[in-house]
Amino acid sequence: MPSAKDQRATKPATRIGYGFDSHEFRSGTPLKLGGITLAHDKGLGGHSDGDVLLHAITDALLGAVAAPDIGDLFPPSDAKWKGADSVVFLREALKRVRHAGYGVANIDASLILAAPKIGPHATAIRMRVAQLLGIPADCVGLKAKTPEGLNLENTALTHVVVLLEARGNPKKARKKTK
């Protein structure tokens, strides 16, 4: 095993992360996607507020720095996270990214869902995600597709990749965030 000093010396300049999530649509709950609420007759069930896009981004960030995943950090079995704002999860992942000495360069996301149409909301979602990540909106890619041939009309799926770039000395980054 290399020493901690050796590990720092060989810290990669960039790291990639990948996140996936899926949630089922459910009546009687607001639809949250990318930290904003969309007008729709159904929302997404499951863990917390069901924001499938923020969950996949969170897991991509955590994966990029080899941290425990969203389910480990915020177990659905813990009543504390029932109905929680998923922004809390994203902020924890960002904190871990910064502690590791990295910043977000860009992300790219694919949303797969039958309805509602994402086009009219895409700019608002991209701007909110960019704001949450502290990056320009032109560093947030967002594509929406319908689940053609998947037989998943009542499900929203998300795939996300994130690129991190090394920012300064990780020791200093750790001190700053304390």
**Site residues (CB under 5 A) for Mg ion?**
21, 47, 55
- Report the residue number, 52 or 173, with the smaller CB distance to Mg ion: 52
- Report the residue number, 47 or 98, with the smaller CB distance to Mg ion: 47
> Residue 4: in which H helix or E strand, if any?
helix 4-9
d(CA 77, CA 82): 9
Tokens linked to 159:
């795939």
d(CA 157, CA 34): 13
- Report the residue number, 55 or 96, with the smaller CB distance to Mg ion: 55
- Report the residue number, 62 or 173, with the smaller CB distance to Mg ion: 62
d(CA 17, CA 64): 4
> Residue 72: in which H helix or E strand, if any?
helix 70-73
Q: Report the nearest approach of Mg ion to the CB of residue 155 (Å).
A: 12
Nearest in space to 96 (alpha carbons), one of 11, 177, 42, 162: 177
b vs e for 46-62, b when ≥16 Cβ sit within 10 Å of the residue's Cβ? bbbbbbbbbbbbbbbbb
Q: Report the nearest approach of Mg ion to the CB of residue 50 (Å).
A: 7
- Report the residue number, 34 or 101, with the smaller CB distance to Mg ion: 34
Q: Which residue is nearest to Mg ion (CB)?
A: 55
CB atoms within 10 A of CB 142: 22
